Amino acid sequence: MTRSPPEWPDDIFRALRGMDIRQVAYVPDAGHARLLDLCGAEPTMTMVPLTTEEEGIAVLAGAWLGGRRGVLLMQSSGIGNCVNMLSLTRNCEFPLFILVTMRGQAGETNPWQVPMGRISGDVLGLAGVMVHGVDEPGRVGETVSAGGRTAFDGPAAVAVLIAQSVVGIKDFGDQAD
Amino acid sequence: MTRSERYPLRRRAVVESLLADRGDLLVVAGLGAPCWDVTAAGDHALTFPLWGAMGSAALIGLGLALARPARRVLVITGDGEMLMGLGGLATIAVQAPENLAIAVLDNERYGETGMQATHTAFGVDLAAVAAAAGLPVTGTVGDDAGLGAAVAKLRGARGPVFFTIKVRAEDLPPALPPRDGVHLKDRFRRALLGEKEAV
């Protein structure tokens, strides 16, 4: 059966363009694959691939010092890599806008994704990041738009956690259905 | 006495020459001694000094350089700080902003914690790492003649530029910049972007 591609990544892209995002810092996740393609084809957006997610917090702080807005894309396991760097965000009250595709939730087939996935929201909250979860594909775009307004008008640190039920379950091909 | 206690270059004088006639240069200073050195050379609204966030200095410089491609960005940091963000050199090499320069003041010690040896004391070569990552202009200098050439490239060569500057291990009185991060961020944006854009 052929399914049409999901539309929520396109909704995110429109929201990011609407808020004048110029730098897209990321460690890739399968859940962000289409969004990364869309942003990569947008001439006003500079794609900044990272070796680890914490780099993105520093890069986007620099972007803000220079008057530009950016977004940080990652999967939930990347949140643990960011913790000390979030002190930069907090001490200086930099705006920070993170879009996280969740792993380790219902249906996860890789147990190594579970520990960080379970504590993602709590870790971000402890580090001073506002967390907005979204678990309906049709509400992703509006949640991203609202989160971006809070981040850049605040300024505030905001993460949108896109549930695994929206992103889909990675299939390793070794499970009996 | 270990090797770096005999290095001829003194860090405060090195930073003074890096920042001489700074004009509209944008500066990011890594935590610890480089931050005190930059402050000793003169606190400035277009300097963003770090009190923490170890490993971030070069990457803040990257984001700033990409945001303002017409302005020269100079990151001044230490060997310990740079070692914590080595992956960032790969990230910088991929972007390759021509206006970004990084100067590492390498005394081969963690100066804020008791002068313990860093990895560079055992031979880890940060400029070689930067060159291997793909930065086009790199080098290591340790005397006045080398410093003069390095400063010229750090201030003017088409980058990204990376220099390791070997400096004497010495414990100097700190010159402290303001601690308030919001103030440091806001004054930088006001000075760079103007009052209207910055708020």
> pLDDT tens track of chain A, all 177 residues?
556 778 999 999 999 999 999 999 999 999 999 999 999 999 999 999 999 999 999 999 999 999 999 999 999 999 999 999 999 999 999 999 999 999 988 888 888 889 899 999 999 999 999 999 999 999 999 999 999 999 999 999 999 999 999 998 777 777 655
How far is A163 from B13, CA to CA, in rounded Å?
54
Helix/strand/coil for B103: strand
CB contact under 8 A, B63 and A60: yes
Q: Which residues contact B12 (CB under 8 A, 6 or more apart)?
A: B37, B40, B41, B172
How far is A111 from A89, CA to CA, in rounded Å?
31
For chain A, how far is it from start to end, CA to CA, in angstroms?
A: 17
Where residue B196 falls among pLDDT bands split at 50, 70, 90? confident
Are B15 and B44 spatial neighbours (Cβ–Cβ below 8 Å)? Answer: no
DSSP state of A6: P
pLDDT score at B199: 66
CB contact under 8 A, B59 and A55: yes
pLDDT by residue (tens digit) across B83-93? 999 999 999 99
Query: In A, which residues are within 8 Å of B30 by CB distance?
Result: none
How far is B119 from B13, CA to CA, in rounded Å?
24
Q: What is the dotted CATH code of the domain comprising A8-167? A: 3.40.50.970
Half-sphere exposure of A124 (CA within 13 A, CB side): 26
Mean pLDDT along residues B95-102: 98
CA distance A31 to chain B (A): 22
Q: Which of A47, A59, A84, A152 to mutate to test the interface with B (most CBs of B within 10 A)?
A: A59
CB contact under 8 A, A92 and B182: yes
pLDDT score at B1: 67
How is residue B42 written in tokens? Answer: 């003169």
Q: How far is CA B108 from the centre of its chain?
A: 15
pLDDT by residue (tens digit) across B161-170? 999 999 999 9
Residues from B contacting A (CB-CB < 8 Å) are 26, 28, 48, 50-57, 59-68, 71, 85, 87-88, 90-91, 94-95, 181-182, 184-185, 188-189, 192-193, 197-198
pLDDT by residue (tens digit) across B17-47? 999 999 999 999 999 999 999 999 999 999 9
CB contact under 8 A, A65 and B67: yes
Q: What is the pairing mode between strands A96-101 and B109-110?
A: unpaired
Query: In A, which residues are within 8 Å of B90 by CB distance?
Result: 51
Q: Is A65 on the interface with B (CB under 8 A)?
A: yes
Helix/strand/coil for A1: coil
Helix/strand/coil for B45: coil
CB contact under 8 A, A58 and B64: no
CB contact under 8 A, B185 and A93: yes
Radius of gyration of chain A (CA): 15
How far is A104 from A116, CA to CA, in rounded Å?
7
Four-CA torsion B90, A127, A93, B103, nearest 10 degrees = -30
Q: Which residues contact A89 (CB under 8 A, 6 or more apart)?
A: A57, A61, A96, A128, A129, A157
Q: What is the dotted CATH code of the domain comprising B3-198? A: 3.40.50.970
Other beta carbons less than 10 A from residue B170's beta carbon: 16
Half-sphere exposure of A38 (CA within 13 A, CB side): 16
Are A68 and A97 spatial neighbours (Cβ–Cβ below 8 Å)? Answer: no
How far is B159 from B167, CA to CA, in rounded Å?
23
